[in-house]
Structure 1
Amino acid sequence: MATETTVRPPDGTILRPLERDVWDTWYASLERAFGGVPEAPEERALWRDLTEFEHSFGAWDGDACVGTAGAFSFRLTVPGGTAVRAAGVTMVSVAATHRRRGLLTSMMRRQLDEVRALGWPLAVLTASEPAIYGRFGYGVGTYHVNAEVDTARVRLSVPPGTDGVRLRYAEPADVVDACEAVYARTVGRRPGMVARLPGWERLGLLDPASGRDGASALQCVVAERAGEVVGYARFRVRPRWETSGHHGTVLLQDTEALDPAAHAAVWRFLFDIDLTSQLVARGRPLDEAWQYLVSDIRRCGVRIRDSLHVRLVDVGAALGARAYQAPVDVVLDVEDAFCPWNSGRWRLSGDATGARCERTGGAADLALSVRELGAGYLGGTTLGALGAAGLVREVRAGALERASVAFASTVKPWLPHMF
């Protein structure tokens, strides 16, 4: 067993690095915090294999695990296409018996200190309860679309070249390498996407029978042109029959494509699957092309939800790691109560080729907290919108509009899968 660390939350509970021989106990505590329904054995086994023990720890009260936290060593695409080191914060829980004692705060303190020591500029997470993480400096950096398309009434127009794309069914495991190759080619195109580490390709193949809820086993089609795989979709079909006829549902798990024709071919296929009248797609990009090809967006049941929450652990390194779509030279007065090493004035200068961000004694142009920097970092939420909400204060006239244009991304940021 690991020895206790010097980091102790207020109630005396001990924080210890996670060791392999207590993973089952640690993970059972996490499952209980999320309702107590056990995962399928194959899903649990995958998360054990993916756990990065060196970046995970637990809170222990005697022999009982009462808190969990971990992180994945991601590389996150930022505006300009660079892949930046980011801690993918995950598996965070506090036992209901130990709430309101400062335990979560102590775990967040320890985790961000460790991320800083690693030299990683960012920490990111998906939140079960979005209200929790703002006080630790996280801002909502990406949103996604959930859609329920009435495919009996909505038609899809397609661009030239779509009919030149060939589709074929394949066993998901048989084409996983080809699908991963397509995914890898799309990662650098969109901020918020993560380069998948070895083993993460198994996430797209998870298909426990207990989680299908009346739907089929996982199915896959690949899109090909001249013998090359240029797109794919993994999905399930849930049949349903009524006296009026069929009302089956296509449940899209994930899809990627390399060009407009391949994208349209895959989505047209999903719209036209026999004996179905609905397509459910969750967690898709805000600006995904199919939305501009449909005949009736109102019958697509589009809903928007927060996705990736972003925290700048090192303001200078993070802002200097991305590019800016317009030239920018601005002094930011940053407030960061939880990570005070970020507080103060930073001069950011850069353009589409790169940037520098350094400490300065110069007069501030904009004043904001690190939470707003996280919200605007990937370019999906504009600084101008945050300013209109009173969250970014303009000190020098005209600075907000110029900085807002520079920070924005022409492609909406998107997180492709949960973690």
Structure 2
Amino acid sequence: MALTLRTLAANDLAEFQRLVNSAFLFDSVEDQLERWRGLFEPERHHAVFDGDELIGGGGIQSRQITLPGAGPQPVAAVTSVGVKPGHRRRGVLTRVMRAQLHGMHEDGAEAIAALWASEAAIYPRFGYGLAAEFTRLEVPSGAKFRPGVSTGGERLREVSRDEAMPFMKAVYEDLRPSRTGWLSRKDAAWDHQFADTERDRDGLTAYRYVLHPQGYAVYRVKADWRERGPRNELHVREIAARTDEAYAALYRYLLDVDMVGELKFFTAADDPGVHLLEDARLALRGRGDSLWVRLVDVDRALTLRRYLSDVDVVLELSDEFCPWNAGRWRFTVKDGAATVRRVDDEPDVVLDVQALGAAYLGGTRLATLARAQRVSEVTGGALNALSHALSGDREPHCPEVF
């Protein structure tokens, strides 16, 4: 039977969530539907049907993402992409990706899309580049800070969720415009990110909320009681602070919680916690991929952010999946602002849209991608100049999976 594709309606949510759970090998949980409803934009969800059976699909959340030097800008946050077992290798995912990206281009919607990849080999073929990473941080409880670190004299308090949430939202909104990679969060996103049923806890405790006058921290605890005493794990969900001193104070509080053996935190690649420690080697670190970015309309996307230095280069760009981006573009930056226009001039740098998406948030250097044979320099010096201009003042980080 021929496959068909259409957007969804509000009453399709239950069937769509059953598809997503099936694709990710989860049990279907009907009582979580209301949590998803506030995030569900049916007109931005594409689904593929085999007859009457929904066999694949994917959605978009209309969000904002903070770009280097430019603050929050619209982004298509791609989510819930999956194909039902037994229906793979039939081109279902390609149809969904084409409907999303081509539809955004035709409608003049967001110029960029971003996602977390369930499998890293899938999305590069649709033009997504690895744009941000996170650090898996493990620090033993009680680890000392180096001399001279100030944590101030403010009192930190553990409070209820109801008391914490309004304060957390205010702090997050204050910080978001300057934190590359952070997403806008409406109330439904907050509820989803800090959902706290038994299923959400995965064997850990309920969330605990710590407030500082200038920031907050949220954590859970995984029980680990041994004959020599407790070695519980403290799992940090999020730390956010308006000042460096407050950030240090929140770290200090978490490291000093009694009956804990180790702190674990999925945090930004340039999290300062390691450098607060007297013995930096106590902090075990691992890296993993987080945001993958796709430039839907290259000319619009490149003008949305700001740049570190002036540059004037001609890019020869390849993009098989979204061919309107392919060709030669003169990319000129003056005083941080970019202009982009089509030209027939000889190229200075040759690359594909995946590489440009990887470098877009300033975390992945084009010079590094050139060493991986993903980018080619034609004019001497052009690559380093372009790579530096695209770099950011801080590593991009997305503190939530969406």
Question: Counterpart of 2:231?
Answer: 247
Question: Counterpart of 1:81?
Answer: 70
Question: Counterpart of 2:188?
Answer: 199
Q: 1:172 aligns with which of 161, 166, 170?
A: 161
More deviation, 400-409/54-63: 54-63
C-alpha deviation, 1:297, in angstroms: 3.4
Q: 1:113 aligns with which of 97, 102, 106?
A: 102
CA distance in 1, matches of 2:16, 2:231: 43
C-alpha deviation, 1:220, in angstroms: 0.1
The alignment partner of 1:174 has SS state of helix
Question: Counterpart of 1:141?
Answer: 131
- Stretches of structure 1 that go unaligned for 5 or more consecutive residues are 1-10, 225-229
- The AA in structure 1 aligned to 2:117 is A
The alignment partner of 1:192 has SS state of coil
Question: Counterpart of 1:390?
Answer: 373
- Stretches of structure 2 that go unaligned for 5 or more consecutive residues are none
Please state if 1:13 is matched with 2:3. yes
TM-score (norm: length of structure 1): 0.92
CA distance in 1, matches of 2:249, 2:335: 33
Instruction: Evaluate the alpha carbon distance shift between residue 201 and residue 211 of structure 1 in structure 2; reply closer, same or farther with a 3 A threshold.
Output: closer
C-alpha deviation, 1:369, in angstroms: 0.1
CA distance in 2, matches of 1:199, 1:37: 22
Structure 1 residues 10-58: Cα deviation after superposition (integer angstroms, max 9, x where no partner): x72111211122211111011011113234834x421222111121121
C-alpha deviation, 1:317, in angstroms: 0.6
For 1:359-374, list aligned pairs within 5 A.
359-374=342-357
CA distance in 2, matches of 1:158, 1:305: 31
Q: Are the counterparts in 2 of residues 239 and 276 from structure 1 also a CA contact under 8 Å? A: no
More deviation, 14-23/304-313: 14-23
The alignment partner of 2:181 has SS state of coil
The alignment partner of 1:80 has SS state of coil
CA distance in 2, matches of 1:378, 1:116: 21
For 1:18-417, list aligned pairs within 5 A.
18-39=8-29, 41-42=31-32, 44-119=33-108, 120-152=110-142, 154-157=143-146, 161-224=150-213, 230-282=214-266, 284-417=267-400
More deviation, 92-101/137-146: 92-101
- The AA in structure 2 aligned to 1:29 is L
CA distance in 1, matches of 2:307, 2:229: 53
- The AA in structure 1 aligned to 2:145 is L
CA distance in 2, matches of 1:387, 1:215: 43
Structure 1 residues 382-411: Cα deviation after superposition (integer angstroms, max 9, x where no partner): 111111111110011110111111111120
Structure 1 residues 323-350: Cα deviation after superposition (integer angstroms, max 9, x where no partner): 1101111111100000000000111111
CA distance in 1, matches of 2:219, 2:201: 11
Instruction: Evaluate the alpha carbon distance shift between residue 351 and residue 262 of structure 1 in structure 2; reply closer, same or farther with a 3 A threshold.
Output: farther
- The AA in structure 2 aligned to 1:274 is D
The alignment partner of 1:345 has SS state of strand
The alignment partner of 1:255 has SS state of strand
Matched length: 401
C-alpha deviation, 1:199, in angstroms: 2.3
CA distance in 1, matches of 2:70, 2:150: 27
The alignment partner of 2:161 has SS state of coil
- The AA in structure 1 aligned to 2:263 is L
More deviation, 372-381/382-391: 382-391
Name the % identity.
Answer: 36
Q: Are the counterparts in 1 of residues 71 and 178 from structure 2 also a CA contact under 8 Å? A: no
- The AA in structure 1 aligned to 2:211 is V
Q: Are the counterparts in 1 of residues 68 and 393 from structure 2 also a CA contact under 8 Å? A: no
More deviation, 311-320/211-220: 211-220
Q: Are the counterparts in 2 of residues 40 and 208 from structure 1 also a CA contact under 8 Å? A: no
Q: Are the counterparts in 2 of residues 193 and 416 from structure 1 also a CA contact under 8 Å? A: yes
Instruction: Evaluate the alpha carbon distance shift between residue 54 and residue 40 of structure 1 in structure 2; reply closer, same or farther with a 3 A threshold.
Output: closer
CA distance in 1, matches of 2:29, 2:372: 41
Structure 1 residues 200-256: Cα deviation after superposition (integer angstroms, max 9, x where no partner): 2213431011332442211101101xxxxx110111122322111111111111111
Structure 1 residues 100-128: Cα deviation after superposition (integer angstroms, max 9, x where no partner): 11111111111101111332110111000
Q: Are the counterparts in 2 of residues 73 and 85 from structure 1 also a CA contact under 8 Å? A: yes
C-alpha deviation, 1:275, in angstroms: 0.6
- The AA in structure 2 aligned to 1:68 is G
CA distance in 2, matches of 1:218, 1:60: 39
Q: Are the counterparts in 1 of residues 207 and 220 from structure 2 also a CA contact under 8 Å? A: yes
Q: Are the counterparts in 2 of residues 75 and 83 from structure 1 also a CA contact under 8 Å? A: yes
Structure 1 residues 333-378: Cα deviation after superposition (integer angstroms, max 9, x where no partner): 1000000000001111114542111111222110000000001011
C-alpha deviation, 1:129, in angstroms: 0.3
Q: Are the counterparts in 2 of residues 172 and 205 from structure 1 also a CA contact under 8 Å? A: no
- The AA in structure 1 aligned to 2:362 is G
The alignment partner of 2:172 has SS state of helix
The alignment partner of 2:178 has SS state of coil
